[in-house]
């Protein structure tokens, strides 16, 4: 599967370059970057769906992908995030006939040698797949998911696992496959599978949960399965499902970015298009505030700066997906 990367800055995304392809067909995997390595859990393209791979990332692209400890169950559509050297994966999607599998939560230690032993931890309160989960200051926040839900849950995370899940302020609309990212104490969610499809909301996050959701600048086009990450005060979104006038899905190379702050999202601007049509995008920026189905926050651990050439330029890594929903 194709993997591309590009520099980012306050003026947008630079030229995309191809880098080391993913070893297997891939869609709906949970990928996160930590300390100079990217870790991808599950696949969804073919059995057994338990594959886990990792590779180094730098300003010259992605290094050699290596297999590491398999996930305990078949997996696709999980919300995976890394915090302080541990990866946490919420829910599933590989077997929609098994509600128990859809509530599973596992975590494991990550390092330059791969992923350690996976350990079961506190189950999610209801079945979950295609969640928008991000970690910030020791708490994981999961928005929507399942059969299109407005539920928002959060829990503490540590080296001993995930604590008790708590319900918090519901999302204004039912959503699934939405790109949610956290930055400087605020969560931003882009797009929806609910008309009008281009809605964007944000809210403060804290140890007591998520505050009031507020509408902010709509995305320029209809959006679903957003690949969004935040870095240095800007959110970058790559590819989309676009619902056309006939409500049919088409895929695009569109890339947009905008400033984010405590007052919401600013004006969206078009930037360098992705080299190929992209959907179910997984976009990760080292040191960023999250991404589709995962990410983290500015406090998510000792992020490497090896991919940065200035304080306003980093590298975003994405890969093309094969669409797959059961």
Map out the domains of the chain with their CATH numbers: 3-319 (2.120.10.80)
Cα–Cα nearest to 42, from 53, 33, 34, 50? 50
Residue 30 CA: distances (Å) to CA of 73, 103, 211, 214, 238: 14, 15, 26, 27, 16
Q: Which residues pair with 229 in a beta bridge?
A: 236
Cα–Cα nearest to 256, from 227, 287, 285? 227
User: At 241, which helix (H) or strand (E)?
Assistant: strand 241-243
- Tens digit of pLDDT per residue, the chain (326 long)? 788 999 999 999 999 999 999 898 776 667 889 999 999 987 656 667 888 999 999 999 999 999 999 999 887 666 788 999 999 998 765 555 555 557 889 999 999 999 999 999 999 988 776 667 889 999 999 988 666 678 899 999 999 999 999 999 999 988 776 678 899 999 999 887 777 888 999 999 999 999 999 999 999 988 877 678 899 999 999 877 665 666 566 667 889 999 999 999 999 999 999 998 776 666 778 765 444 333 333 333 322 222 322 233 345 555 443 333 32
Return all residues near 21 (Cβ < 8 A) that are at least 6 apart.
Answer: 1, 2, 3
């Amino acid at each position: 599967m194709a993997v591309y990367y590009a520099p980012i800055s306050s003026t947008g995304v630079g030229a995309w370059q191809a880098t080391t392809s993913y070893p297997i067909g891939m869609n709906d995997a949970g990928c996160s970057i930590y300390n100079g390595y990217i870790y991808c859990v599950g696949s969804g393209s073919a059995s057994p769906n338990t594959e886990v791979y990792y590779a180094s990332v730098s300003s010259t692209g992605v290094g050699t992908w290596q297999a590491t400890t398999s996930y305990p169950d078949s997996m696709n559509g999980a919300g995976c995030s890394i915090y302080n050297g541990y990866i946490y994966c919420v829910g599933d999607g590989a077997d929609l006939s098994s509600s128990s599998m859809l509530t599973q939560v596992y975590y494991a230690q990550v390092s330059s040698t791969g992923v350690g032993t996976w350990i079961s931890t506190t189950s999610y309160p209801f079945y979950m797949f295609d969640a928008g989960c991000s970690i910030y200051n020791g708490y994981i926040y999961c928005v929507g998911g399942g059969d299109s839900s407005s539920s928002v849950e959060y829990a503490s995370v540590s080296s001993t696992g995930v604590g008790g899940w708590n319900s918090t302020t519901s999302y204004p609309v039912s959503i699934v496959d939405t790109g949610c990212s956290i930055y400087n104490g605020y969560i931003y969610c882009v797009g929806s599978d609910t008309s009008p499809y281009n809605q964007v909301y944000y809210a403060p996050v804290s140890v007591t949960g998520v505050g009031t959701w507020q509408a902010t600048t709509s995305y320029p086009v209809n959006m679903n399965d957003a690949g969004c990450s935040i870095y240095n005060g800007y959110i970058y979104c790559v590819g989309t499902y676009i619902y056309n006038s006939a409500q049919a899905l088409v895929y695009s190379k569109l890339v947009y970015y905008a400033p984010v702050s405590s007052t919401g999202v600013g004006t969206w601007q078009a930037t360098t298009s992705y080299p190929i049509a992209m959907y179910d995008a997984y976009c990760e920026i080292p040191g960023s505030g999250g991404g589709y189905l995962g990410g983290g926050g500015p406090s998510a651990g000792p992020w490497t700066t090896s991919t940065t050439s200035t304080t306003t330029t980093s590298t975003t890594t994405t890969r093309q997906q094969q669409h797959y929903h059961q």
